[in-house]
Structure 1
Amino acid sequence: MVNFTFKNKNLKIVEKFFILVAISLAIIIAGFVYMAIGGMNLGVEFSGGSNIQITVHNFEDIDGNAFKGKVISWLEGDRDGKDGVDKNTKVYDVDKNVQSSGRATYEFRISNEMKDETGKMVDLYDIPEGSEQPKLYHENVEIRDLLTEDLTKWIVEKYNVEETSFEVEIEPHIIGNDVKNYTVRNAFIAVAVAIVVILAYIAIRFSPIAGLAAIVALLHDVLIMVSLTTIFQIPVNMTFIAAVITIVGYSINATIVVFDRVRELLALPSNIEKTDREIANEAVVGTLSRSILTTVTTLVMIAILAIVSSIMGSTAIREFAIPIIFGLVAGLYSSSFLSASVWVYLRKAFKQSNKKPNKKVKKSKAVAEVEA
């Protein structure tokens, strides 16, 4: 069995706190600057708007780029989709999702308004008289039928195939403002509830100061995830929210191991003269190998998942895996290099520096495994 431990037991992690924070701040600021300039790649759940999913059956040799170009030309040309573009969204985004042999799905973001055959702007959210559905779904509006017909003709001409040898299926999806606001609100509530529950748990198990330090580390992880997701233009949708909540739960586990070690070191009579800085540094060094090994093994599996999903065209899995990778790296960084240091400075701020508990604390199972 490989024993992966750090020989240097005198790493000055707390003393380098402000340098380590500066690295994180640089990434966070870069992300928010990019967000202010270029915006986030918001999914339709958070920005509102309309999605058109185009599935081509029984046709394996379709040229994805040409197919995308034709649809965009149709939207911007014949139907004048530009006039209805929301400047804050990435309107003509497209993904190819190969679901099985002979079947490929392309997803397009379109504007909420387009011109009809008479040149009149059509609001896709309008519900025609006598109908219960918006116009995008309504049989009297050409969005679905004419797009299907246009693409079918183009494939016949482009690839010189019989129209009966394949099928084009159009599936529109509309997210209105009410649904968008509901989704955004619930996403924030989900993340907030997770953080509050974790704060309560850490405060009860360790101390309120340890709880605050853990929450600072979690907020760091979330901000890093948001920043890198913005920089690399990963879609921000409900899949991303699921990734954030997953990382919140995963990251706190590594932080708990560090604070377990801190608590046990504080209780040792031999450490009665040690300062909070010395205790924190020793706790981090003692758990660093465990944190690195568990994170790396998880990273390897998630990276493989991201690569395979990209090859297979599974968009949803890729959009989940990539933010998870960002969060895992951020979680390793915060639990190992920030959380204990934040604890030291919070203890100083609340005038509890160098206070030791009056009784011994039994070693936790997690820390016992680290020492084994």
Structure 2
Amino acid sequence: MLYISRWKTLFIWLTVAFSVFVALPNAFTDEELAGLPTWFPQDKVTLGLDLQGGSHIMLKLERSDIVQERLETVVGDIRTTLRDAGIRYTGLSGAGQQVQVRITDPAQVDAAIEALSEITAPVSVGGLTGGTVNEVTLDRGSDGELRFILTDAGIDYRVSSAVTQSMEVVRRRVDELGTTEPLIQRQGEDRIIVQVPGLTDPQRLKALLNQTAKLSFHMVDQSMPVEEAISGRPPASSEVLYSSDDPAIPYLIERRALVSGENLVDAQAAFDQRTSEPVVTFRFDSRGAQRFAQATQQNVGRPFAIVLDQQVISAPVIREPIVGGSGQISGNFSVEGANDLAVLLRAGALPATLTVVEERTVGPGLGADSIRAGVVASIIGAIAVVLFMLAFYGTFGVMANIALAANVTMILAALTTIGSTLTLPGIAGIVLTMGMAVDSNVLIYERIREEAKSGRPLIQAIDIGFKKAFATIIDANLTTLIAAVVLFFLGSGPVRGFAVTLTVGIVTTIFTAFFLTHWLMATWYRWKRPKHLPKSVRTGFFDDKNIPFMAVRRFTFIAAMAISVASLVGFATVGMNLGIDFKGGSIMEVQARNGEADLSDIRTRLSDLNLGQVQAQGFGDPSTALIRLQAQEGGENAEQSAIAKVRGELEADYDFRRVEVVGPAVSSDLTQSATIGVAAALFAILIYIWFRFEWQFALGAIIATLHDVVFTIGLFVLTGIEFNLTSIAAILTIIGYSLNDTVVVYDRMRENLRRYKKMPLDVLIDISINQTLSRTILTAGSTMLALGALYVFGGEVIASFTFAMLAGVLIGTFSSVYIAGPVLIAFKLRPETFQKDENEVDEAVAKFGA
């Protein structure tokens, strides 16, 4: 019955109290928290970059750099080994992943293979499991030709090692900026994600991360004029490099480095004592100091070049030997430039070039606006849901609202405890949870009302209502949980934040429904000792409507099919307005420093930059504009160059509030992962429903869900709303919501199948839908209230996301009635039980004229 032990009561309220205690710091500012006692918790929910500003940058290690470096290393090793062994050779060259050499004397081929055996020897990969990898294999040809092939496994090993090394270098560089709590993590085989919250100068961060920072010191080759080397053929031991000046100055540089950056132990920005210009001072280790002193002693009076990433920074003349192991680099630096170069040199060189393939930057001003909009939308949505429940359930609504407040508090406490990041879509997840959490209470309350209406004593009605609602709520929430889990593992960035919030919300919803609401109901009953349901429960107007939904199933089914076909045709011909997440390109949100944004002027100024198609449109208030650039030819570096050009053209008149850049590599991956995500979610849910129900139910649920997905895609085609990464989150959530709705109806059908074994299927479906109609309408209404508040007050950034969700709720409600039901009839669910038996026709059949 309604007995709840003291231990269970203690557990429930300790959990709620602990959640309040952990979540409470989120109500204070950092300054207010600093003034509170030390025992008071200090941790708060970590805000995402879209809420506090900052930069998210994805770097891709260029595999071609690793291949080229390995190729040059193998060529050099072969040259040195054969020379040391006194073996004559010719035609030593490398291309692609292959190096070839011809041994001049056929009698020395075996000796050459023996001498070069170290190059093809397996390399230990280390690690806990140990193991080796063959980086180079040998293929012996005719006429003394030897071909050394770089294996894919060897390159993969080098790439993996280079990514690990690069992460350490990147971490040192970012730490030098003095930023707080940067996140640096590996993604996939060759990518690194860098998230720096609160960063106000993303351009500086990109400049630091983009440079390899390979520093070396070389002698200037004076054997011929550099102009002659450019127009003719430079010596084999030298190459032409250019300075970073404008215009660039060419230098003929000896390839052999006197000293490399590996021998640096320190580098600091300083001012030249004679000229007061910014310079960078450096200090070598003992080996570097010895080599540098020896080189300068032997070359007094000759110029030497300081080279950084194949660019000559400066080329001073050696006036006297430099024996102290230290020196300085001058090159017309600004103060910031000198600081950045010192940071690069202290952090060390990257093993390969890192290319920015994705950038998402949000200014702190926009982040503050997003927080304000999200909080306002959440408060308004919460008030709307609270009033909604009070209007329909009165006393029971008070219990539901207490459970809802505890639910939101527990979500914040859980996000604080696990260190999850709250993003703007994450706020949407909380608002959606507020709407959907009501569903669990509505299911319980409607079950209680049904049992009480059937004549059971109220105490029995409450007890049976909770028990019957339990299985339905678990089934409905697990389907949404499956979608959220798939979204987490296949999504990225803010989408994963949404998935985490939704997942936590599902868990807390189940807890508050079956523990807290149950306790509140039991306490209310022991206190009031009522004989009947409170008169404030006002959902009875849905009873005895006996709407014959299946009577029009052919018309609704045909209409739904026609709209679905039209949606698919529109998708194939017109297509969706794909955002940069799926087709690459750039988006910039800018705000005029004074007055309104001049869209015509922006278009005119940017059209002269030769960046292809440029769109500028109003966004929110008149001072703000949204600029879109098409994907640039030339890959990721071209995307970054385009952003730099736009900044250079507009930053004097506009603040850049948000910048998103997605290169072709990332957009291709996102498209693939999004497709796999939707398919994986549908498959996992199909298996679950098949396991819990019967195969007709599983197929019916998937067909209804596919209808919702196709319908939503048609909506994007028709309205032209941008389809981006958050739209995938919306579709997956619509899948979860639609299945939630469908499973509730199916669960009632399954229950009625056991009760009315000889009832015609269409009549049974109508009865089941009518019995759950109040729950369906109330849940849809509360969810749409919460989402409506988010759509109206949540800001432009997530407007398309919430619009898709609102449409999805309506579509999902429709499909759970007019698609899921007719499909069961089409598949002839349990046909052997649906033969009319005059002796077993239920009174419910007569109501529908059977």
- Tell me the TM-score normalised to structure 1 length: 0.72
| Greater CA drift, 213-222 or 169-178 | 169-178
Q: What's 2:806 paired with?
A: 325
Q: Identify which of 821, 839, 848 aligns with 1:340.
A: 821
Q: Secondary structure at the match of 2:588?
A: strand
Residue type matched to 1:227 in 2? Answer: G
Q: Secondary structure at the match of 1:302?
A: helix
- The Cα of 1:235 is off from its aligned counterpart by 1.1
Distance between the aligned counterparts of 1:95 and 1:35, measured in 2?
A: 27
Cα separation, partners in 2 of 1:230 and 1:315, compared to 1, 3 Å: same
Please give the per-residue CA displacement for 1:97-126, whole angstroms capped at 9, x wherever unaligned.
Answer: 56xxxx96532111345xxxxxxxxx4636
Given that 2:580 and 2:586 are in contact with CA atoms closer than 8 Å, whether structure 1 keeps it comes out as yes
Given that 2:589 and 2:625 are in contact with CA atoms closer than 8 Å, whether structure 1 keeps it comes out as yes
Please give the per-residue CA displacement for 1:219-248, whole angstroms capped at 9, x wherever unaligned.
Answer: 111111111122111110011111111111
Q: What's 1:145 paired with?
A: 648
Please give the per-residue CA displacement for 1:232-275, whole angstroms capped at 9, x wherever unaligned.
Answer: 1111001111111111111111111111111111111xx23212
- The Cα of 1:47 is off from its aligned counterpart by 1.5
Work out whether 1:74 is the aligned partner of 2:605.
Answer: yes
Work out whether 1:108 is the aligned partner of 2:644.
Answer: no
Q: What's 1:47 paired with?
A: 583
Given that 1:258 and 1:284 are in contact with CA atoms closer than 8 Å, whether structure 2 keeps it comes out as yes
Please give the per-residue CA displacement for 1:34-93, whole angstroms capped at 9, x wherever unaligned.
Answer: 445543111100111222332445x4x32x4xx2222122233x2355xx34xxxxx515
Q: Identify which of 184, 203, 219 aligns with 2:671.
A: 184
Work out whether 1:256 is the aligned partner of 2:786.
Answer: no
Given that 1:13 and 1:341 are in contact with CA atoms closer than 8 Å, whether structure 2 keeps it comes out as no
Q: What's 1:119 paired with?
A: none
Cα separation, partners in 2 of 1:26 and 1:177, compared to 1, 3 Å: same
Cα separation, partners in 2 of 1:196 and 1:104, compared to 1, 3 Å: farther
Distance between the aligned counterparts of 2:739 and 2:642, measured in 1?
A: 45
- The Cα of 1:295 is off from its aligned counterpart by 0.4
Given that 1:217 and 1:335 are in contact with CA atoms closer than 8 Å, whether structure 2 keeps it comes out as yes
Residue type matched to 1:284 in 2? Answer: I
- The Cα of 1:326 is off from its aligned counterpart by 0.9
Residue type matched to 1:79 in 2? Answer: L
Given that 2:636 and 2:663 are in contact with CA atoms closer than 8 Å, whether structure 1 keeps it comes out as no
Distance between the aligned counterparts of 1:307 and 1:176, measured in 2?
A: 32
Cα separation, partners in 2 of 1:169 and 1:279, compared to 1, 3 Å: closer
Q: What's 2:718 paired with?
A: 231
Q: Secondary structure at the match of 2:590?
A: strand
Given that 1:220 and 1:334 are in contact with CA atoms closer than 8 Å, whether structure 2 keeps it comes out as yes
Cα separation, partners in 2 of 1:32 and 1:112, compared to 1, 3 Å: same
Work out whether 1:135 is the aligned partner of 2:638.
Answer: no
Cα separation, partners in 2 of 1:171 and 1:279, compared to 1, 3 Å: closer
Given that 2:704 and 2:819 are in contact with CA atoms closer than 8 Å, whether structure 1 keeps it comes out as yes
Q: What's 2:184 paired with?
A: none
Q: Secondary structure at the match of 2:828?
A: helix
Residue type matched to 1:48 in 2? Answer: G
Residue type matched to 2:793 in 1? Answer: V
Q: What's 2:779 paired with?
A: 294
Distance between the aligned counterparts of 1:316 and 1:240, measured in 2?
A: 12
Q: What's 2:247 paired with?
A: none
Q: What's 1:208 paired with?
A: 695
- The Cα of 1:13 is off from its aligned counterpart by 2.5
Given that 1:214 and 1:255 are in contact with CA atoms closer than 8 Å, whether structure 2 keeps it comes out as yes
Cα separation, partners in 2 of 1:304 and 1:52, compared to 1, 3 Å: closer
Distance between the aligned counterparts of 1:144 and 1:284, measured in 2?
A: 58
Q: Identify which of 168, 171, 174 aligns with 2:655.
A: 168
Distance between the aligned counterparts of 1:342 and 1:353, measured in 2?
A: 14
Given that 1:274 and 1:354 are in contact with CA atoms closer than 8 Å, whether structure 2 keeps it comes out as no
| Greater CA drift, 11-20 or 201-210 | 11-20
Q: What's 2:165 paired with?
A: none
Work out whether 1:277 is the aligned partner of 2:762.
Answer: yes
- The Cα of 1:18 is off from its aligned counterpart by 2.1
Work out whether 1:25 is the aligned partner of 2:512.
Answer: no
Distance between the aligned counterparts of 1:32 and 1:109, measured in 2?
A: 27
Distance between the aligned counterparts of 1:126 and 1:249, measured in 2?
A: 36
Distance between the aligned counterparts of 1:137 and 1:68, measured in 2?
A: 18
Q: Identify which of 773, 788, 792 aligns with 1:307.
A: 792
Given that 1:124 and 1:136 are in contact with CA atoms closer than 8 Å, whether structure 2 keeps it comes out as no
Work out whether 1:220 is the aligned partner of 2:757.
Answer: no
Cα separation, partners in 2 of 1:69 and 1:196, compared to 1, 3 Å: same
Q: Identify which of 355, 366, 369 aligns with 2:833.
A: 355
Q: Secondary structure at the match of 2:720?
A: coil
**TM-align CA RMSD:** 2.6
Q: Secondary structure at the match of 2:722?
A: coil
Cα separation, partners in 2 of 1:80 and 1:38, compared to 1, 3 Å: farther
Residue type matched to 2:642 in 1? Answer: L
Specify which structure has the bigger relative contact order, considering alpha-carbon pairs within 8 angstroms and separated by 6 or more residues: 1
Distance between the aligned counterparts of 1:258 and 1:272, measured in 2?
A: 18
Q: What's 2:752 paired with?
A: 265
Q: What's 1:96 paired with?
A: 619
Identity of aligned residues (%): 27
Please give the per-residue CA displacement for 1:194-223, whole angstroms capped at 9, x wherever unaligned.
Answer: 211211121111112101100111111111
Cα separation, partners in 2 of 1:194 and 1:104, compared to 1, 3 Å: farther
Given that 2:590 and 2:624 are in contact with CA atoms closer than 8 Å, whether structure 1 keeps it comes out as yes
Cα separation, partners in 2 of 1:274 and 1:50, compared to 1, 3 Å: same
Please give the per-residue CA displacement for 1:252-309, whole angstroms capped at 9, x wherever unaligned.
Answer: 11111111111111111xx232122222121112112211121022112212221123
Q: What's 2:680 paired with?
A: 193
Distance between the aligned counterparts of 1:29 and 1:283, measured in 2?
A: 29
Residue type matched to 2:808 in 1? Answer: G
Distance between the aligned counterparts of 1:33 and 1:46, measured in 2?
A: 20
**Higher normalized strand content (fraction of residues):** 2
- The Cα of 1:337 is off from its aligned counterpart by 1.8
Greater Rg by CA: 2
Given that 1:224 and 1:326 are in contact with CA atoms closer than 8 Å, whether structure 2 keeps it comes out as no
Residue type matched to 1:147 in 2? Answer: L
Distance between the aligned counterparts of 1:258 and 1:191, measured in 2?
A: 23
Q: Secondary structure at the match of 2:541?
A: coil
Q: Secondary structure at the match of 1:244?
A: helix
Q: Secondary structure at the match of 1:51?
A: strand
